[in-house]
């Protein structure tokens, strides 16, 4: 029987790579749902090729544009709840959750409630609501397989031993384009410079997050929930070549790493086919041609965002929702030219420290904390 998959965020970087991975496996996979935010033309082209029974578009104003671009008549959902409606009404085996930011949260939670396998690229879902998401997954026997390359590496490396024998994990970070910049030089960084990642080709928001290393902060929180680790068990090491995607240390002192070329298609495919493996369109790794693999500790002074990851992994509660929302807002203000590059971590930290902490929030509390943090960043900048 064919596996049926829904892709949330199909027009983004991970979404497009997912379809690329599925192409040679078309005899075994059916795309039954595609969802996007506002990119009508790409969504229509994908739907016309893959013929899912349903599509979803978050932008309501572009409903008629999508209708006229479609060469057939799938069920179509529009508006704020379109992604959730798609997940709720189309039966499937796997949901690829690849929306960037808080917009993917409710549909991801619902996929978990329905007990689907979730290939999770929307790291924000775990940062905002990790405790809730993992509890729901356990209650509904949903399997969450990470798509984030570091977490995919840890997920794979953990299969080398018992979970109880894991001493710690180490997330690798490329260090981004400003790895060797001074603090003064970082203050003058332009949007175009921040959007130029040395090793990975990704969407704009995550590329800026990589440059501030906020991406690694979010990934510390993501690892804390995904693998049920204590924050003391999670380390970060800078590895500019982006070949070792992360490592796990077991109690006997053995380190297990996962290595491959920096290509998101490898972790995406593994999340789809796990526990099976099959040939992947990503370029194979030629280890003999790599002169060196370097690993060194991150500079916490030049990349203060890293402290925030550790702080939020320790505190839990509403702090993840505030961290994520404050950062998302600060990144978009930086991209509009309203604040400096170094302000992103500063404003995020300020808002995080000011927030009224709630240790055991409901989903509504988390969404309220998210809304508060967005307003608070704007207020801080105005004053
Ligand atoms: Mg990553």
Question: What is the DSSP pairing of strand 166-173 with strand 244-250?
Answer: antiparallel
For residue 207, how far is its CA from the centre of ligand 1 (angstroms)?
A: 10
For residue 340, how far is its CA from the centre of ligand 1 (angstroms)?
A: 24
Instruction: Sketch out the chain's domains with CATH numbers.
Output: 3-146 (3.40.50.720), 151-316 (no CATH)
For residue 35, how far is its CA from the centre of ligand 1 (angstroms)?
A: 22
For residue 121, how far is its CA from the centre of ligand 1 (angstroms)?
A: 9
For residue 222, how far is its CA from the centre of ligand 1 (angstroms)?
A: 10
Q: Which residues surround ligand 1, an ion (CB under 5 A)?
A: 148-150
pLDDT at position 197 is: 78
pLDDT in tens, 136-148: 999 999 999 999 9
For residue 204, how far is its CA from the centre of ligand 1 (angstroms)?
A: 14
For residue 178, how far is its CA from the centre of ligand 1 (angstroms)?
A: 17
For residue 199, how far is its CA from the centre of ligand 1 (angstroms)?
A: 12
The three-state (H, E, C) secondary structure of 133-152, written as one string: HHHHHHHCCCCEEECCHHHH
pLDDT at position 260 is: 97
pLDDT in tens, 310-324: 999 999 999 999 999
For residue 126, how far is its CA from the centre of ligand 1 (angstroms)?
A: 13
pLDDT of 241 strictly over 90: yes
Q: What six digits make up the tokens of 188?
A: 């003058």
pLDDT of 176 strictly over 90: no
């Amino acid at each position: 029987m064919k596996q049926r998959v829904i892709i949330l965020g199909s027009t983004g970087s991970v979404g497009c790579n997912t379809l690329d991975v599925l192409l040679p496996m078309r005899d075994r996979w059916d795309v039954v749902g595609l969802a996007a935010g506002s990119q009508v033309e790409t969504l229509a082209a994908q739907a016309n090729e893959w013929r899912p029974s349903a599509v979803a578009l978050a932008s309501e104003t572009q409903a008629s544009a999508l209708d006229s671009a479609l060469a057939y008549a799938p069920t179509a959902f529009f508006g704020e709840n379109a992604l959730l409606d798609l997940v709720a009404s189309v039966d499937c085996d796997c949901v690829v959750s690849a929306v960037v930011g808080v917009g993917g949260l409710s549909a991801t939670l619902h996929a978990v409630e329905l007990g689907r396998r979730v290939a999770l690229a929307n790291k924000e879902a775990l940062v905002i609501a990790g405790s809730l998401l993992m509890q729901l997954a356990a209650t509904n026997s949903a399997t969450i397989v990470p798509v984030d390359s570091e977490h995919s590496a840890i997920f794979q490396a953990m299969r080398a031993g018992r979970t109880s024998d894991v001493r710690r994990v180490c997330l690798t970070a490329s260090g981004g384009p400003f790895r060797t910049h001074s603090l003064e030089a970082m203050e003058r960084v332009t949007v175009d410079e921040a959007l130029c990642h040395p090793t990975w080709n990704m969407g704009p928001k995550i590329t800026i997050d990589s440059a501030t290393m906020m991406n690694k902060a979010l990934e510390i929180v993501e690892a804390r929930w995904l693998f049920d680790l204590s924050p003391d068990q999670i380390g970060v090491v800078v590895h500019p070549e982006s070949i070792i995607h992360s490592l796990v240390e077991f109690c006997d002192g053995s380190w297990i790493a996962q290595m491959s070329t920096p290509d998101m298609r490898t972790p995406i495919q593994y999340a789809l086919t796990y526990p099976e493996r099959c040939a992947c369109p990503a370029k194979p790794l030629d280890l003999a041609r790599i002169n060196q693999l370097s690993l060194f500790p991150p500079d916490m002074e030049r990349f203060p965002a890293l402290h925030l990851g550790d702080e939020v992994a320790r505190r839990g509660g509403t702090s993840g929702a505030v961290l994520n929302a404050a950062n998302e807002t600060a990144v978009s203000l930086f991209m509009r030219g309203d604040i400096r590059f170094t302000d992103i971590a500063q404003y995020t930290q300020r808002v995080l420290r000011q927030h009224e902490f709630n240790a055991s929030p409901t989903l509504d509390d988390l969404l309220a904390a998210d809304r508060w943090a967005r307003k608070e960043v704007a207020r801080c900048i105005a004053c």
